[in-house]
Amino acid sequence: MDHAITYTWTDHHQLASVKSLAGEFVYQYAENNPALLTQMTSPVHRVETAREPKRDLITEVRNVGLVGNPQSRRGAEPNPEVERKSVSSVVNPISSYAYTNDGLGRRAQIAKTGAAFETLSFPQTVGVSYNERGEVVGADYVSQSAPAKGAASYRYQYDAIGNRQRHSRQAPDAAKPEITTYEANALNQYQSVQSGPSKEHPTHDLDGNLVENAEFRYEWDSENRLIAAEKKDRTQRVTYVYDSLSRLVARRAQVPARDDARTWDPAQ
């Protein structure tokens, strides 16, 4: 189904709102720096972003549900006269990601809280480690609640130019880690990926675009835009259509039948 998407912008040329059949999404920015997004309000929820006062690094992203809002009905017209009421963002957010940053501005720890994680018992704390080049070499997921209680550890190794060579995942209840190895060619393209007994050989065209991996074949146009992705067993094919400005205007999936179309304001 075709539908229009309307955009508005702030005086600093930042996105202010997006309106579509899904409702209106409104964006707010920091008073002292209009480039820093602080809040996004949708018809059904609000996302709040907090930052360090000096480095502007994100310290928390909180997702809060909205109640008593007529926009919660899909496609309803926004009513600026009606105040949006929110569930307490401190007591019961839908989800909250709290970040601890190290001295180099990298995320050293991620703490996950909120109703979504409590319901699904997902790991609630992630510790991240880096090598001297700033590449992620480890991530440890820790949960204090069943059935996900325990820790899952991920480790990464790279070559001298930054291509991944090895990835391992150690589950808390597994005797051995799951290991995936990678081999890159002279163009820094992965030409071999092996996970356990399974091994695949991704292939690329002369422009470096991925044309085939273990599951899909990909097609690109002369401007290196993805125009089709098809499963090798031909059970699903997805095509993409662009306008003259290379903006995606349609995505069509043949199985199951689905057609998503987009329209753009010529001024944007």
3-state SS, the chain, equals CCCCCEEEECCCCCEEEEEECCEEEEEEECCCCCCCEEEEECCCEEEEEEECCCCCCEEEEEEEEEECCHHHCCCCCCCCCCCCEECCCCCCCCEEEEEEECCCCCEEEEEEECHHHHHHCCCCEEEEEECCCCCEEEEEEEECCCCCCEEEEEEEEECCCCCEEEEEEECCCCCCCEEEEEEECCCCCEEEEEECCEEECCEECCCCCEEECCCEEEEECCCCCEEEEEECCCCCEEEEEECCCCCEEEEEECCCCEEEECCCCCCC
Cα–Cα dist 210/185, whole Å: 13
Q: Are 114 and 8 within one domain?
A: yes
Structural domain range at position 92? 1-120
- Cα distances (angstroms) measured from residue 228 to each of 10, 90, 148, 236, 261: 36, 45, 38, 11, 15
Domain boundary (120, 138, 157) is at 120
Q: What percentage of the chain carries pLDDT values higher than 90?
A: 61
In this structure, the strands spanning 178-184 and 15-20 are unpaired
Phi–psi pair at 115, nearest 5 degrees: -60, -35
Phi–psi pair at 11, nearest 5 degrees: -65, -20
Q: Are 3 and 99 within one domain?
A: yes
Indicate whether 196 belongs to any domain.
no
- pLDDT per residue over 104-132, tens digit each? 999 999 999 888 887 776 668 999 999 99
Q: Are 113 and 214 within one domain?
A: no
Indicate whether 45 belongs to any domain.
yes
Indicate whether 143 belongs to any domain.
no
Predicted local distance difference test score (pLDDT) of residue 43: 92
Indicate whether 172 belongs to any domain.
no
Residue 85 has pLDDT above 60, yes or no: no
Indicate whether 129 belongs to any domain.
no
Residue 90 has pLDDT above 50, yes or no: no
Indicate whether 105 belongs to any domain.
yes
Indicate whether 134 belongs to any domain.
no
**In this structure, what token pair is assigned to residue 83?**
């105040």
Predicted local distance difference test score (pLDDT) of residue 209: 98
Q: Are 113 and 215 within one domain?
A: no
- pLDDT per residue over 205-258, tens digit each? 999 999 999 999 999 999 999 999 999 999 999 999 998 888 888 888 887 545
Residue 99 has pLDDT above 90, yes or no: yes
Q: Are 214 and 109 within one domain?
A: no
Cα–Cα dist 108/87, whole Å: 29
Q: Are 219 and 116 within one domain?
A: no
Indicate whether 260 belongs to any domain.
yes
- pLDDT per residue over 22-39, tens digit each? 899 999 999 989 999 999
Please work out, in degrees rounded to the nearest 5, the angle formed at the alpha carbon of residue 268 by the alpha carbons of 18 and 208: 100
Instruction: Lowest mean pLDDT of 82-91, 140-149, 250-259, name the range.
Output: 82-91
> How many structural domains are present in the chain?
2
Q: What is the mean pLDDT of residues 137-161?
A: 83
Q: Are 110 and 224 within one domain?
A: no
Domain boundary (55, 88, 120) is at 120
Q: What percentage of the chain carries pLDDT values higher than 70?
A: 81
Query: What's the CA dihedral at 144, 147, 151, 156 to 10 degrees?
Result: -140
Domain boundary (74, 97, 120) is at 120
